[in-house]
Structure 1
Amino acid sequence: MRIWVARPEPGAARTGRRLSALGHTPVVAPVLTIRPTGAALPAAAFAGLLLTSANAVAALTAADRVRFEHVPAFAVGARTAALARRAGLRAVAEAGGDAAHLVVLVRATLPAGSSLLHVAGVDGKAEPTASLRTAGYPISSVVAYAAVAESVLPTAIATALGAYPGSLEAVLHYSRRSAETAYGLACRAELGGAFGALKHYCLSGDVAAPLVAAGLDVHFVAERPDEETLLAGLATGT
């Protein structure tokens, strides 16, 4: 299949390579760009670090990485955990891919009352911080990165959708924001119908929600919010 990869870099290029290895033709055309905000992390001492995105690791400065080298870091998934270890953090625990498991992991590791720092994005979700605060963990959140939306549909995608059917068959959605943005840009370009006719593969039910709300047919929703499960949907022809 010829598949649009709409997620931001650096993940988009990596996903494109994986699709090529599986025999598909990727069209890597992100609709979001991740940029650090430059916000400094607070100087207070923390018992744990919450990393709910690989972008959080990328936003850490060299000084931050030295400072938190031995502080327990709780990563939402395998990719984030791997990047955290590569960045020099030594006490990294992986939550398995979702916020609920991250809450369980923190509670099993640190006692209530432990102060936590969440390195967050502009469009961060309420979890896991809401549940952890309810469980008695003081949390400081710093908006360290932002996903900036493209103003127009990428040229390669506009051309492909304009020539639909035949030139583009599917799209991978990795976040709710990218799915919303991709659909909005397609509609603005008067290509919403062609966009809706694609096979939509979504990383989770939350990612699929805006597409479902818009009345689009979502072809596949991964049972686990990780790339392995998402790409397995392609491999099985689901």
Structure 2
Amino acid sequence: MTRFSTAQRDEISERLGYRFSNEDLLVEALTHGSTQAHKGDYQRLEFLGDRVLGLVIAEYLFRTYPGHGEGELTAIHSALVRGESCAEAGDTVGLSELVIIGTGERAKGMNLNRTLLGDAMEALVAAIYLDGGFEQARAFVLKAWDGLLRHPRVTVKDAKTFLQEWALARALPIPAYKVVSREGPEHEPVFAVSVDVKGKDPALGTAKSKRGAEMDAADQFLKREGIRP
């Protein structure tokens, strides 16, 4: 099993802003499956860390943006917890230097892999949560994600994609679209399409193409329900 020297533990503690009582948790959070130096790797901790991170970020956004609706908060939250953002947060503590991977894999630069770093960062969040509790985990997340929290990079999804993800997140069926009418000359038609979401009144959209009308219907639904401005 991998063990850190006192000097190594001091350096890691300084980087993380947290000192582990249970070193095994720290080792597990940093260990990639390519090494046999430790019985386990970070995958189980990654599962838990994803949930802890999500809660910390959700609470922060809820308190920081009182005027934002659910849709806006969801978009910012998604941007902050995605893998690339976790990897960027890992860069703030020099995570690529800390991960424990096989010698061959490190020689190939696997320790710089963004997916690996994002996963390991989530595992670290879980390890701190298990070792020191929620407040310590929250303090770590808010410090490591500070730059991202101040300047979140939100990817604007099209209305249909956004509505579908919104519905699926609530265990609702995929929104259903239906052409209500098609008017105008053949070379310049105008489509009217309705979108139906379980438990809600349909919303109507219009455009010069069927897809455009579907997009408009989704957009009208999101605006009417206050999901996305």
Structure 1 and Structure 2 fold alike (TM over 0.5): no
The structure having more radius of gyration, on CA atoms, is 2
Higher helix residue share: 2
TM-score by length of 2: 0.24
